[in-house]
A and B are shown apart, each in its own frame.
Chain A
Amino acid sequence: MSQREHIEKALKTIERSDLNAFITVDYEGARRQAVEADAGKLDGRLAGVPIAIKDAISTKGLRTTCASKMLEHYVPPYDAFVIQRLRAEGAILIGKTNMDEFSMGASTETSFFGPCKNPWDINRVPGGSSGGSAASVAAYEADLALGSDTGGSIRCPASFCGVVGLKPTYGRVSRSGLISYGNSLEQIGPIARTVKECATLFEVIAGHDPADSTSLNLPVTSCEQSISDDITGLKIGVPLDFFGEGVDAAVENATRKAIDILVDLGAEAVEISMPSLRYALPAYYIQAMSEASSNLARYCGIIYGHRVKKDQDWHQTFSKNRASGFGKEVKRRVLLGTYALSAGYYDKYYLKALKARTLIRADFKRAFQKHDALIAPTMPHVAFKIGEKIEDPLSLYKEDINTVPVNLANIPALSIPCGKKGKLPIGLQIIGDQLDEARLFNIAWQFEHNTKFNKYAE
Protein backbone atom coordinates (compact mmCIF):
# COMPACT_ATOMS: atom_id res chain seq x y z
CA MET A 1 0.00 0.00 0.00
CA SER A 2 1.30 3.50 -0.81
CA GLN A 3 1.50 6.09 1.98
CA ARG A 4 -1.30 7.99 0.28
CA GLU A 5 -3.56 4.96 0.39
CA HIS A 6 -2.57 4.32 4.00
CA ILE A 7 -3.43 7.90 5.02
CA GLU A 8 -6.66 7.91 2.96
CA LYS A 9 -7.71 4.74 4.76
CA ALA A 10 -7.17 6.35 8.16
CA LEU A 11 -8.98 9.54 7.08
CA LYS A 12 -11.91 7.53 5.76
CA THR A 13 -12.08 5.56 9.02
CA ILE A 14 -12.25 8.86 10.91
CA GLU A 15 -14.97 10.20 8.60
CA ARG A 16 -17.15 7.12 9.05
CA SER A 17 -16.54 6.93 12.80
CA ASP A 18 -19.13 7.69 15.51
CA LEU A 19 -16.48 7.90 18.23
CA ASN A 20 -15.89 11.67 18.17
CA ALA A 21 -12.22 10.91 18.82
CA PHE A 22 -11.00 13.99 16.96
CA ILE A 23 -11.62 17.68 17.56
CA THR A 24 -9.69 18.75 14.45
CA VAL A 25 -8.65 16.55 11.51
CA ASP A 26 -5.89 17.95 9.30
CA TYR A 27 -7.05 16.44 5.99
CA GLU A 28 -5.03 18.83 3.86
CA GLY A 29 -1.81 18.60 5.86
CA ALA A 30 -2.00 14.81 6.16
CA ARG A 31 -2.61 14.38 2.41
CA ARG A 32 0.22 16.75 1.53
CA GLN A 33 2.62 14.84 3.79
CA ALA A 34 1.47 11.50 2.35
CA VAL A 35 2.40 12.72 -1.15
CA GLU A 36 5.80 13.76 0.21
CA ALA A 37 6.20 10.33 1.81
CA ASP A 38 5.45 8.57 -1.49
CA ALA A 39 7.99 10.79 -3.22
CA GLY A 40 10.58 9.60 -0.69
CA LYS A 41 10.83 13.03 0.93
CA LEU A 42 9.98 11.90 4.46
CA ASP A 43 12.70 10.02 6.32
CA GLY A 44 12.96 8.84 9.83
CA ARG A 45 11.78 6.17 12.20
CA LEU A 46 8.13 7.20 11.82
CA ALA A 47 8.19 8.07 8.11
CA GLY A 48 4.62 8.11 6.78
CA VAL A 49 3.01 6.89 10.03
CA PRO A 50 -0.32 8.63 10.79
CA ILE A 51 -0.24 9.91 14.35
CA ALA A 52 -3.00 11.53 16.43
CA ILE A 53 -2.09 14.26 18.90
CA LYS A 54 -3.94 15.08 22.10
CA ASP A 55 -5.39 18.56 21.72
CA ALA A 56 -3.43 19.77 24.77
CA ILE A 57 -0.17 19.66 22.75
CA SER A 58 0.71 22.73 20.68
CA THR A 59 0.91 22.25 16.90
CA LYS A 60 2.06 25.21 14.82
CA GLY A 61 -0.69 26.41 12.50
CA LEU A 62 -3.09 23.66 13.64
CA ARG A 63 -5.87 24.64 16.05
CA THR A 64 -5.22 23.50 19.64
CA THR A 65 -8.27 23.82 21.90
CA CYS A 66 -7.61 21.72 25.03
CA ALA A 67 -11.29 20.76 24.44
CA SER A 68 -12.30 24.14 25.90
CA LYS A 69 -14.45 26.96 24.62
CA MET A 70 -11.72 29.17 26.07
CA LEU A 71 -9.33 28.04 23.30
CA GLU A 72 -11.91 27.22 20.61
CA HIS A 73 -10.13 29.38 18.02
CA TYR A 74 -6.55 29.21 19.34
CA VAL A 75 -3.89 28.43 16.71
CA PRO A 76 -0.42 27.99 18.27
CA PRO A 77 2.39 30.00 16.66
CA TYR A 78 4.91 27.29 17.59
CA ASP A 79 5.32 23.51 17.80
CA ALA A 80 5.72 21.66 21.09
CA PHE A 81 9.13 19.97 21.49
CA VAL A 82 7.57 16.52 20.97
CA ILE A 83 5.92 17.71 17.74
CA GLN A 84 9.28 18.93 16.42
CA ARG A 85 10.64 15.46 17.20
CA LEU A 86 7.76 13.73 15.36
CA ARG A 87 8.16 15.94 12.31
CA ALA A 88 11.92 15.28 12.28
CA GLU A 89 11.18 11.51 12.18
CA GLY A 90 8.74 11.86 9.27
CA ALA A 91 5.46 11.20 11.16
CA ILE A 92 2.21 12.44 9.58
CA LEU A 93 0.10 14.46 12.03
CA ILE A 94 -3.41 13.39 11.17
CA GLY A 95 -5.31 15.49 13.70
CA LYS A 96 -5.96 16.63 17.25
CA THR A 97 -7.81 14.32 19.59
CA ASN A 98 -10.71 14.81 21.95
CA MET A 99 -10.03 14.98 25.69
CA ASP A 100 -11.45 16.17 28.97
CA GLU A 101 -11.39 19.97 29.09
CA PHE A 102 -7.86 21.05 30.10
CA SER A 103 -7.14 17.33 30.84
CA MET A 104 -9.43 17.39 33.88
CA GLY A 105 -11.31 14.11 33.94
CA ALA A 106 -11.18 10.35 33.55
CA SER A 107 -13.91 9.92 30.92
CA THR A 108 -13.51 12.46 28.05
CA GLU A 109 -17.05 13.64 28.80
CA THR A 110 -16.15 17.20 29.88
CA SER A 111 -15.01 18.18 26.37
CA PHE A 112 -16.62 21.35 24.95
CA PHE A 113 -16.85 19.36 21.69
CA GLY A 114 -18.97 16.58 23.16
CA PRO A 115 -18.02 13.24 24.70
CA CYS A 116 -15.73 10.74 22.99
CA LYS A 117 -16.95 7.14 22.87
CA ASN A 118 -15.36 3.78 23.55
CA PRO A 119 -14.67 1.74 20.38
CA TRP A 120 -15.55 -1.52 22.21
CA ASP A 121 -18.98 -0.22 23.27
CA ILE A 122 -20.31 3.04 21.88
CA ASN A 123 -22.42 3.64 25.03
CA ARG A 124 -19.35 3.69 27.25
CA VAL A 125 -16.57 6.19 27.94
CA PRO A 126 -13.10 5.66 26.46
CA GLY A 127 -11.51 6.81 29.72
CA GLY A 128 -9.67 10.05 30.02
CA SER A 129 -8.40 12.53 29.83
CA SER A 130 -6.55 11.38 26.66
CA GLY A 131 -9.68 9.46 25.56
CA GLY A 132 -9.59 10.51 21.90
CA SER A 133 -5.94 9.47 21.58
CA ALA A 134 -6.56 5.94 22.91
CA ALA A 135 -9.89 5.51 21.06
CA SER A 136 -8.42 6.64 17.72
CA VAL A 137 -5.55 4.14 17.96
CA ALA A 138 -7.89 1.32 19.07
CA ALA A 139 -10.23 2.02 16.12
CA TYR A 140 -7.44 2.32 13.48
CA GLU A 141 -8.17 6.02 12.98
CA ALA A 142 -4.45 6.53 13.62
CA ASP A 143 -1.49 4.17 14.07
CA LEU A 144 0.02 5.98 17.04
CA ALA A 145 -1.00 8.77 19.39
CA LEU A 146 0.39 11.14 21.97
CA GLY A 147 -1.45 11.74 25.21
CA SER A 148 -0.54 13.43 28.47
CA ASP A 149 -0.79 11.92 31.93
CA THR A 150 -1.19 14.10 35.05
CA GLY A 151 -2.95 11.53 37.26
CA GLY A 152 -3.61 8.62 34.88
CA SER A 153 -4.74 10.36 31.69
CA ILE A 154 -2.76 8.04 29.39
CA ARG A 155 -3.06 4.79 31.35
CA CYS A 156 -6.79 5.08 32.08
CA PRO A 157 -7.91 5.38 28.42
CA ALA A 158 -5.26 2.84 27.34
CA SER A 159 -6.83 0.42 29.84
CA PHE A 160 -10.45 1.16 28.81
CA CYS A 161 -9.67 0.99 25.06
CA GLY A 162 -7.40 -2.09 25.14
CA VAL A 163 -4.22 -0.42 23.88
CA VAL A 164 -0.71 0.20 25.25
CA GLY A 165 0.11 3.51 26.95
CA LEU A 166 3.11 4.79 28.91
CA LYS A 167 3.40 7.57 31.47
CA PRO A 168 7.14 8.31 31.41
CA THR A 169 9.40 9.33 34.32
CA TYR A 170 8.84 12.97 35.25
CA GLY A 171 11.32 15.03 33.24
CA ARG A 172 12.02 12.35 30.62
CA VAL A 173 9.86 14.03 27.95
CA SER A 174 9.80 17.80 27.51
CA ARG A 175 6.60 19.57 28.52
CA SER A 176 7.45 22.56 26.37
CA GLY A 177 4.31 23.24 24.30
CA LEU A 178 2.04 21.10 26.51
CA ILE A 179 -0.80 23.24 27.83
CA SER A 180 -0.26 23.09 31.59
CA TYR A 181 -2.70 21.65 34.09
CA GLY A 182 -0.65 20.25 37.00
CA ASN A 183 2.94 20.86 35.97
CA SER A 184 4.73 19.03 38.81
CA LEU A 185 2.80 15.86 37.91
CA GLU A 186 2.30 15.66 34.16
CA GLN A 187 4.20 14.08 31.29
CA ILE A 188 3.50 13.60 27.60
CA GLY A 189 3.57 9.92 26.63
CA PRO A 190 3.00 7.42 23.81
CA ILE A 191 -0.10 5.34 23.00
CA ALA A 192 0.08 2.45 20.50
CA ARG A 193 -1.54 -0.86 19.60
CA THR A 194 1.55 -2.91 20.43
CA VAL A 195 4.34 -2.70 23.01
CA LYS A 196 7.05 -2.39 20.35
CA GLU A 197 5.37 0.54 18.58
CA CYS A 198 4.84 2.23 21.94
CA ALA A 199 8.56 1.84 22.71
CA THR A 200 9.56 3.32 19.35
CA LEU A 201 7.35 6.37 19.87
CA PHE A 202 8.70 6.81 23.40
CA GLU A 203 12.29 6.79 22.13
CA VAL A 204 11.41 9.44 19.54
CA ILE A 205 9.87 11.89 22.04
CA ALA A 206 12.19 11.31 25.04
CA GLY A 207 15.22 13.48 25.67
CA HIS A 208 16.52 16.75 26.98
CA ASP A 209 15.01 20.11 26.01
CA PRO A 210 16.52 23.33 27.40
CA ALA A 211 13.12 25.01 26.98
CA ASP A 212 11.72 22.86 29.83
CA SER A 213 13.82 23.43 32.95
CA THR A 214 12.42 20.24 34.52
CA SER A 215 13.56 18.13 31.56
CA LEU A 216 16.35 15.70 32.50
CA ASN A 217 19.71 16.17 30.81
CA LEU A 218 20.48 12.44 30.72
CA PRO A 219 20.93 10.09 27.75
CA VAL A 220 17.88 8.07 26.65
CA THR A 221 18.53 4.35 26.98
CA SER A 222 17.30 2.21 24.11
CA CYS A 223 14.08 0.39 24.91
CA GLU A 224 13.87 -1.58 21.69
CA GLN A 225 17.26 -3.20 22.16
CA SER A 226 16.32 -5.02 25.38
CA ILE A 227 12.62 -5.43 24.60
CA SER A 228 12.73 -9.22 24.03
CA ASP A 229 15.19 -10.04 26.84
CA ASP A 230 14.48 -12.99 29.09
CA ILE A 231 12.75 -12.02 32.37
CA THR A 232 14.01 -14.95 34.43
CA GLY A 233 14.77 -13.81 37.98
CA LEU A 234 12.79 -10.58 37.61
CA LYS A 235 11.56 -9.49 41.05
CA ILE A 236 7.97 -8.31 41.00
CA GLY A 237 6.28 -6.59 43.92
CA VAL A 238 2.50 -6.79 44.13
CA PRO A 239 1.26 -3.93 46.33
CA LEU A 240 -1.99 -5.11 47.92
CA ASP A 241 -2.95 -1.47 48.42
CA PHE A 242 -3.90 -1.38 44.70
CA PHE A 243 -6.46 -4.15 45.24
CA GLY A 244 -8.62 -2.27 47.74
CA GLU A 245 -12.39 -1.89 47.89
CA GLY A 246 -13.90 -0.79 44.61
CA VAL A 247 -11.65 -3.07 42.55
CA ASP A 248 -13.90 -5.31 40.47
CA ALA A 249 -13.45 -9.08 40.97
CA ALA A 250 -12.93 -9.60 37.22
CA VAL A 251 -10.15 -7.00 37.23
CA GLU A 252 -8.49 -8.53 40.29
CA ASN A 253 -8.66 -12.02 38.76
CA ALA A 254 -7.21 -10.84 35.45
CA THR A 255 -4.37 -9.06 37.27
CA ARG A 256 -3.54 -12.09 39.40
CA LYS A 257 -3.63 -14.32 36.34
CA ALA A 258 -1.24 -11.94 34.58
CA ILE A 259 1.15 -12.15 37.54
CA ASP A 260 0.99 -15.98 37.36
CA ILE A 261 1.89 -15.80 33.67
CA LEU A 262 4.92 -13.61 34.43
CA VAL A 263 5.94 -16.08 37.16
CA ASP A 264 5.65 -18.90 34.60
CA LEU A 265 8.00 -16.86 32.42
CA GLY A 266 10.59 -16.89 35.20
CA ALA A 267 9.73 -13.90 37.37
CA GLU A 268 9.33 -14.01 41.14
CA ALA A 269 6.33 -12.25 42.68
CA VAL A 270 5.91 -11.12 46.28
CA GLU A 271 2.96 -9.35 47.86
CA ILE A 272 3.88 -6.09 49.55
CA SER A 273 2.20 -3.27 51.43
CA MET A 274 2.56 0.47 50.83
CA PRO A 275 0.54 2.08 53.64
CA SER A 276 1.02 5.70 52.53
CA LEU A 277 -0.97 5.06 49.35
CA ARG A 278 -4.17 5.72 51.25
CA TYR A 279 -3.21 9.41 51.12
CA ALA A 280 -2.50 9.40 47.39
CA LEU A 281 -5.88 10.41 45.99
CA PRO A 282 -6.62 13.45 48.21
CA ALA A 283 -2.95 14.51 48.02
CA TYR A 284 -3.04 14.31 44.24
CA TYR A 285 -6.24 16.30 43.89
CA ILE A 286 -5.15 19.06 46.27
CA GLN A 287 -1.85 19.47 44.47
CA ALA A 288 -3.26 19.20 40.95
CA MET A 289 -6.07 21.65 41.69
CA SER A 290 -3.70 24.12 43.34
CA GLU A 291 -1.39 24.01 40.35
CA ALA A 292 -4.38 24.29 38.01
CA SER A 293 -5.66 27.41 39.75
CA SER A 294 -2.29 29.02 39.12
CA ASN A 295 -1.71 27.64 35.60
CA LEU A 296 -5.17 28.61 34.37
CA ALA A 297 -4.85 32.17 35.69
CA ARG A 298 -3.38 33.06 32.28
CA TYR A 299 -6.77 32.67 30.60
CA CYS A 300 -8.10 36.17 30.90
CA GLY A 301 -9.21 36.60 27.28
CA ILE A 302 -6.88 39.48 26.38
CA ILE A 303 -3.77 37.98 24.76
CA TYR A 304 -5.60 34.91 23.43
CA GLY A 305 -8.70 32.91 24.22
CA HIS A 306 -12.40 33.50 24.61
CA ARG A 307 -13.57 37.08 25.23
CA VAL A 308 -17.09 38.33 25.84
CA LYS A 309 -18.48 40.92 23.40
CA LYS A 310 -18.88 43.80 25.81
CA ASP A 311 -16.03 44.97 28.04
CA GLN A 312 -16.65 46.22 31.57
CA ASP A 313 -13.88 47.00 34.07
CA TRP A 314 -10.83 44.69 34.11
CA HIS A 315 -11.99 42.43 36.95
CA GLN A 316 -15.51 42.05 35.55
CA THR A 317 -14.23 41.43 32.03
CA PHE A 318 -11.82 38.71 33.20
CA SER A 319 -14.49 37.14 35.41
CA LYS A 320 -17.05 37.06 32.60
CA ASN A 321 -14.52 35.71 30.06
CA ARG A 322 -13.62 32.91 32.47
CA ALA A 323 -17.23 32.26 33.48
CA SER A 324 -18.31 31.74 29.87
CA GLY A 325 -15.04 30.19 28.58
CA PHE A 326 -14.54 27.42 31.18
CA GLY A 327 -16.74 24.38 31.74
CA LYS A 328 -18.02 23.23 35.15
CA GLU A 329 -15.24 20.79 36.04
CA VAL A 330 -12.54 23.35 35.24
CA LYS A 331 -14.32 25.91 37.43
CA ARG A 332 -14.63 23.39 40.29
CA ARG A 333 -10.93 22.61 40.21
CA VAL A 334 -9.81 26.22 39.89
CA LEU A 335 -12.09 27.22 42.80
CA LEU A 336 -10.86 24.36 45.01
CA GLY A 337 -7.23 25.10 44.11
CA THR A 338 -7.71 28.79 44.87
CA TYR A 339 -9.21 27.82 48.24
CA ALA A 340 -6.42 25.34 49.06
CA LEU A 341 -3.78 27.99 48.42
CA SER A 342 -5.60 30.87 50.12
CA ALA A 343 -4.45 32.46 53.39
CA GLY A 344 -5.33 30.32 56.40
CA TYR A 345 -5.84 27.09 54.43
CA TYR A 346 -2.40 26.51 52.89
CA ASP A 347 -1.17 24.48 55.89
CA LYS A 348 -4.35 22.46 56.11
CA TYR A 349 -4.45 21.39 52.46
CA TYR A 350 -1.47 22.17 50.25
CA LEU A 351 1.25 21.58 52.83
CA LYS A 352 -0.42 18.33 53.97
CA ALA A 353 -0.53 17.20 50.34
CA LEU A 354 3.19 17.89 49.92
CA LYS A 355 3.92 15.90 53.08
CA ALA A 356 1.81 13.00 51.85
CA ARG A 357 3.69 13.12 48.55
CA THR A 358 6.96 12.81 50.49
CA LEU A 359 5.69 9.68 52.25
CA ILE A 360 4.47 8.14 49.00
CA ARG A 361 7.80 8.75 47.29
CA ALA A 362 9.59 7.11 50.23
CA ASP A 363 7.27 4.07 50.05
CA PHE A 364 8.05 3.58 46.34
CA LYS A 365 11.76 4.08 46.97
CA ARG A 366 11.64 1.34 49.59
CA ALA A 367 9.72 -0.96 47.25
CA PHE A 368 12.26 -0.53 44.44
CA GLN A 369 15.14 -1.43 46.75
CA LYS A 370 13.77 -4.97 46.80
CA HIS A 371 11.75 -5.24 43.59
CA ASP A 372 12.46 -4.52 39.91
CA ALA A 373 8.87 -3.62 39.06
CA LEU A 374 5.44 -3.43 40.67
CA ILE A 375 2.27 -4.86 39.17
CA ALA A 376 -1.30 -3.74 39.80
CA PRO A 377 -4.59 -3.12 38.03
CA THR A 378 -4.52 0.12 36.01
CA MET A 379 -8.20 0.89 36.67
CA PRO A 380 -10.49 -0.52 39.38
CA HIS A 381 -12.96 -1.73 36.74
CA VAL A 382 -13.72 -1.68 33.01
CA ALA A 383 -15.12 1.29 31.06
CA PHE A 384 -18.32 2.69 32.59
CA LYS A 385 -21.38 4.09 30.81
CA ILE A 386 -21.44 7.63 29.41
CA GLY A 387 -23.33 9.80 31.92
CA GLU A 388 -22.98 7.28 34.75
CA LYS A 389 -20.61 9.32 36.93
CA ILE A 390 -20.52 12.82 35.47
CA GLU A 391 -23.03 14.29 37.96
CA ASP A 392 -20.97 13.13 40.94
CA PRO A 393 -17.48 14.69 40.71
CA LEU A 394 -16.02 12.78 43.68
CA SER A 395 -17.00 9.40 42.21
CA LEU A 396 -15.11 10.35 39.03
CA TYR A 397 -12.07 11.43 41.04
CA LYS A 398 -12.02 8.00 42.68
CA GLU A 399 -11.46 6.42 39.25
CA ASP A 400 -7.84 7.61 39.54
CA ILE A 401 -7.11 5.71 42.76
CA ASN A 402 -4.53 3.33 41.17
CA THR A 403 -2.94 5.76 38.73
CA VAL A 404 -2.19 8.92 40.78
CA PRO A 405 0.46 7.38 43.10
CA VAL A 406 2.77 7.04 40.09
CA ASN A 407 2.52 10.75 39.24
CA LEU A 408 3.12 11.75 42.86
CA ALA A 409 6.29 9.60 42.87
CA ASN A 410 7.58 10.93 39.48
CA ILE A 411 8.06 7.34 38.24
CA PRO A 412 7.07 5.62 34.97
CA ALA A 413 4.18 3.18 34.49
CA LEU A 414 2.71 1.37 31.53
CA SER A 415 -0.73 -0.08 30.88
CA ILE A 416 -1.27 -3.13 28.62
CA PRO A 417 -4.32 -5.29 27.92
CA CYS A 418 -4.50 -8.36 30.20
CA GLY A 419 -8.02 -9.66 29.70
CA LYS A 420 -11.63 -8.68 29.27
CA LYS A 421 -14.86 -8.47 31.18
CA GLY A 422 -17.51 -9.28 28.59
CA LYS A 423 -16.31 -7.37 25.57
CA LEU A 424 -14.54 -4.65 27.57
CA PRO A 425 -10.74 -4.61 27.97
CA ILE A 426 -8.94 -4.77 31.33
CA GLY A 427 -5.57 -3.03 31.74
CA LEU A 428 -2.51 -4.27 33.62
CA GLN A 429 -0.30 -1.59 35.18
CA ILE A 430 3.46 -2.19 35.28
CA ILE A 431 5.22 0.38 37.47
CA GLY A 432 8.96 1.00 37.40
CA ASP A 433 11.63 2.96 39.22
CA GLN A 434 12.75 6.32 37.86
CA LEU A 435 14.11 6.12 34.28
CA ASP A 436 13.42 2.37 34.10
CA GLU A 437 11.16 2.58 31.02
CA ALA A 438 13.24 -0.01 29.13
CA ARG A 439 12.44 -2.61 31.78
CA LEU A 440 8.71 -1.81 31.60
CA PHE A 441 8.73 -2.33 27.84
CA ASN A 442 10.67 -5.59 28.29
CA ILE A 443 8.13 -7.00 30.78
CA ALA A 444 5.20 -5.78 28.68
CA TRP A 445 6.66 -7.26 25.49
CA GLN A 446 7.23 -10.65 27.15
CA PHE A 447 3.66 -10.60 28.43
CA GLU A 448 2.21 -9.58 25.07
CA HIS A 449 4.40 -12.06 23.18
CA ASN A 450 3.37 -15.00 25.37
CA THR A 451 -0.36 -14.30 25.66
CA LYS A 452 -3.26 -13.50 23.36
CA PHE A 453 -4.84 -10.65 25.32
CA ASN A 454 -3.70 -7.95 22.91
CA LYS A 455 -5.75 -8.62 19.77
CA TYR A 456 -3.77 -5.96 17.90
CA ALA A 457 -0.52 -7.86 18.44
CA GLU A 458 -1.65 -11.04 16.70
Chain B
Amino acid sequence: MIIRTDVEHIARLACIELDDEDLQEFTIQLNTILEYFEELEDVEAKLLQQEEDNVLRTDEITPSLSQQEALSNAPRVDGGYFRGPRII
Protein backbone atom coordinates (compact mmCIF):
# COMPACT_ATOMS: atom_id res chain seq x y z
CA MET B 1 0.00 0.00 0.00
CA ILE B 2 1.42 3.37 -0.97
CA ILE B 3 0.09 6.73 0.22
CA ARG B 4 0.02 10.20 -1.27
CA THR B 5 3.42 11.20 0.15
CA ASP B 6 4.96 8.08 -1.48
CA VAL B 7 3.58 9.14 -4.85
CA GLU B 8 4.98 12.66 -4.27
CA HIS B 9 8.37 11.10 -3.56
CA ILE B 10 8.26 8.86 -6.67
CA ALA B 11 7.20 11.83 -8.80
CA ARG B 12 10.17 13.82 -7.50
CA LEU B 13 12.51 10.93 -8.40
CA ALA B 14 10.90 10.67 -11.85
CA CYS B 15 11.04 14.45 -12.43
CA ILE B 16 7.32 14.75 -13.17
CA GLU B 17 5.43 17.56 -11.46
CA LEU B 18 2.00 16.39 -10.23
CA ASP B 19 -0.88 18.59 -9.09
CA ASP B 20 -3.37 17.70 -6.35
CA GLU B 21 -5.79 16.05 -8.73
CA ASP B 22 -3.03 13.90 -10.31
CA LEU B 23 -1.77 12.85 -6.88
CA GLN B 24 -5.20 11.74 -5.81
CA GLU B 25 -5.89 9.81 -9.02
CA PHE B 26 -2.43 8.20 -9.26
CA THR B 27 -2.40 7.13 -5.60
CA ILE B 28 -5.56 5.09 -6.18
CA GLN B 29 -4.53 3.69 -9.57
CA LEU B 30 -0.95 2.85 -8.58
CA ASN B 31 -2.23 0.91 -5.58
CA THR B 32 -4.59 -1.14 -7.73
CA ILE B 33 -1.76 -2.00 -10.14
CA LEU B 34 0.81 -2.72 -7.41
CA GLU B 35 -1.69 -5.01 -5.74
CA TYR B 36 -1.95 -6.95 -9.01
CA PHE B 37 1.87 -7.19 -9.15
CA GLU B 38 1.74 -9.10 -5.83
CA GLU B 39 0.92 -12.17 -7.95
CA LEU B 40 4.66 -12.56 -8.41
CA GLU B 41 5.23 -12.98 -4.69
CA ASP B 42 5.61 -16.76 -4.86
CA VAL B 43 7.99 -16.82 -7.86
CA GLU B 44 11.15 -18.68 -7.07
CA ALA B 45 13.77 -19.30 -9.72
CA LYS B 46 17.45 -19.08 -10.32
CA LEU B 47 18.27 -16.30 -12.74
CA LEU B 48 19.55 -17.47 -16.11
CA GLN B 49 23.23 -16.98 -16.64
CA GLN B 50 23.96 -14.28 -19.20
CA GLU B 51 23.88 -16.16 -22.51
CA GLU B 52 25.41 -13.49 -24.69
CA ASP B 53 28.86 -11.95 -24.53
CA ASN B 54 29.35 -8.23 -24.62
CA VAL B 55 29.37 -6.87 -28.14
CA LEU B 56 32.43 -4.75 -28.75
CA ARG B 57 33.54 -2.83 -31.80
CA THR B 58 36.76 -1.10 -32.78
CA ASP B 59 36.84 2.57 -31.87
CA GLU B 60 36.96 4.03 -35.36
CA ILE B 61 36.02 7.58 -36.22
CA THR B 62 33.00 7.68 -38.54
CA PRO B 63 30.89 10.64 -39.68
CA SER B 64 28.22 11.67 -37.16
CA LEU B 65 25.65 14.47 -36.91
CA SER B 66 26.85 17.95 -37.81
CA GLN B 67 26.54 20.65 -35.14
CA GLN B 68 23.63 22.13 -37.07
CA GLU B 69 21.83 18.76 -37.22
CA ALA B 70 22.49 18.08 -33.54
CA LEU B 71 20.98 21.44 -32.59
CA SER B 72 18.11 21.30 -35.10
CA ASN B 73 15.51 20.03 -32.58
CA ALA B 74 16.59 22.03 -29.54
CA PRO B 75 13.90 24.32 -28.13
CA ARG B 76 16.50 26.95 -27.17
CA VAL B 77 19.89 27.46 -28.78
CA ASP B 78 22.51 30.13 -28.07
CA GLY B 79 25.65 30.65 -30.13
CA GLY B 80 25.89 27.01 -31.25
CA TYR B 81 25.08 25.59 -27.79
CA PHE B 82 22.00 24.08 -26.16
CA ARG B 83 20.60 26.66 -23.77
CA GLY B 84 19.60 25.24 -20.37
CA PRO B 85 17.98 26.93 -17.40
CA ARG B 86 20.12 29.41 -15.42
CA ILE B 87 22.15 27.99 -12.57
CA ILE B 88 22.78 31.17 -10.62
Interface on A for B, CB 8 Å cutoff?
73-75, 77-78, 210, 213-214, 278-279, 282-283, 285-286, 293, 297, 300-307, 311-320, 322-323, 326, 331-332, 334-336, 338-339, 342, 349, 352-356, 358-359, 361, 393-394, 397
Known: A305-B75, A335-B10. A354 touches B26 (CB 8 A): no
Q: What's the minimum C-beta distance from B88 to chain A, rounded to whole angstroms?
A: 10
Name the CB-closest residue of B to A325. Answer: B16
Q: What's the minimum C-beta distance from A76 to chain B, rounded to whole angstroms?
A: 8
Q: Does the CB pair B10–A302 fall under 8 Å? A: no
Known: A77-B65, A286-B37. A338 touches B14 (CB 8 A): yes
Residues of the A chain whose Cβ atoms lie less than 8 Å from the Cβ of B73: 73-75, 77, 303-305
Residues of the B chain whose Cβ atoms lie less than 8 Å from the Cβ of A339: 2, 6, 10, 30, 34
Q: Does B61 contact A (CB under 8 A)?
A: no
- CA distance in complex: A213, B48 (Å): 20
- Can you name 28 A-B pairs with beta carbons within 8 Å? A77-B65, A77-B73, A214-B55, A279-B39, A279-B40, A279-B43, A302-B84, A303-B82, A307-B75, A311-B85, A318-B15, A319-B15, A320-B17, A323-B16, A331-B16, A335-B10, A336-B30, A338-B10, A339-B30, A349-B40, A352-B40, A353-B40, A355-B47, A356-B43, A356-B45, A358-B45, A358-B46, A397-B33
Name the CB-closest residue of A to B38. Answer: A282
- CA distance in complex: A334, B14 (Å): 7
Q: What's the minimum C-beta distance from A216 to chain B, rounded to whole angstroms?
A: 10
Name the CB-closest residue of A to B48. Answer: A358
Name the CB-closest residue of B to A354. Answer: B47
Q: Does the CB pair B40–A286 fall under 8 Å? A: yes
Q: Does the CB pair B29–A302 fall under 8 Å? A: no
- CA distance in complex: A63, B12 (Å): 31
Q: What's the minimum C-beta distance from B12 to chain A, rounded to whole angstroms?
A: 8
Interface residue from A305, A323, A393 paired with B17 (Cβ < 8 Å): A323
Binary flags per residue of B62-87, CB closer than 8 Å to A gives 1, else 0: 00010001101111100000101111
Q: Does the CB pair A311–B40 fall under 8 Å? A: no
Q: Does the CB pair B69–A77 fall under 8 Å? A: yes
Residues of the B chain whose Cβ atoms lie less than 8 Å from the Cβ of A278: 39
Name the CB-closest residue of B to A326. Answer: B16
Interface residue from B12, B36, B74 paired with A303 (Cβ < 8 Å): B74
Residues of the B chain whose Cβ atoms lie less than 8 Å from the Cβ of A354: 47
Residues of the B chain whose Cβ atoms lie less than 8 Å from the Cβ of A319: 11-12, 15-17
- CA distance in complex: A169, B79 (Å): 46
- CA distance in complex: A160, B37 (Å): 27
Q: Does the CB pair B87–A314 fall under 8 Å? A: yes
Q: What's the minimum C-beta distance from B35 to chain A, rounded to whole angstroms?
A: 9
Residues of the B chain whose Cβ atoms lie less than 8 Å from the Cβ of A359: 43, 45
Q: Does the CB pair B29–A322 fall under 8 Å? A: no
Residues of the A chain whose Cβ atoms lie less than 8 Å from the Cβ of B59: none
Q: What's the minimum C-beta distance from A433 to chain B, rounded to whole angstroms?
A: 15
Binary flags per residue of B4-31, CB closer than 8 Å to A gives 1, else 0: 0011001111111110001000100110
- CA distance in complex: A78, B76 (Å): 21
Q: Does the CB pair B7–A311 fall under 8 Å? A: no
Known: A323-B17, A349-B37, A356-B40. A332 touches B30 (CB 8 A): yes
Name the CB-closest residue of A to B75. Answer: A307
Name the CB-closest residue of B to A320. Answer: B17
- CA distance in complex: A338, B26 (Å): 14
- CA distance in complex: A313, B54 (Å): 39
Residues of the A chain whose Cβ atoms lie less than 8 Å from the Cβ of B75: 301-302, 304-307
- CA distance in complex: A358, B45 (Å): 7
Q: What's the minimum C-beta distance from A436 to chain B, rounded to whole angstroms?
A: 18
Q: Does the CB pair B16–A322 fall under 8 Å? A: yes
- CA distance in complex: A394, B30 (Å): 10
Residues of the A chain whose Cβ atoms lie less than 8 Å from the Cβ of B74: 302-304
Q: What's the minimum C-beta distance from B79 to chain A, rounded to whole angstroms?
A: 16
Residues of the A chain whose Cβ atoms lie less than 8 Å from the Cβ of B15: 297, 300, 315, 318-319, 322
Q: Does the CB pair B16–A77 fall under 8 Å? A: no
Name the CB-closest residue of B to A360. Answer: B45
Residues of the B chain whose Cβ atoms lie less than 8 Å from the Cβ of A297: 15
Interface residue from B40, B55, B69, B82 paired with A283 (Cβ < 8 Å): B40
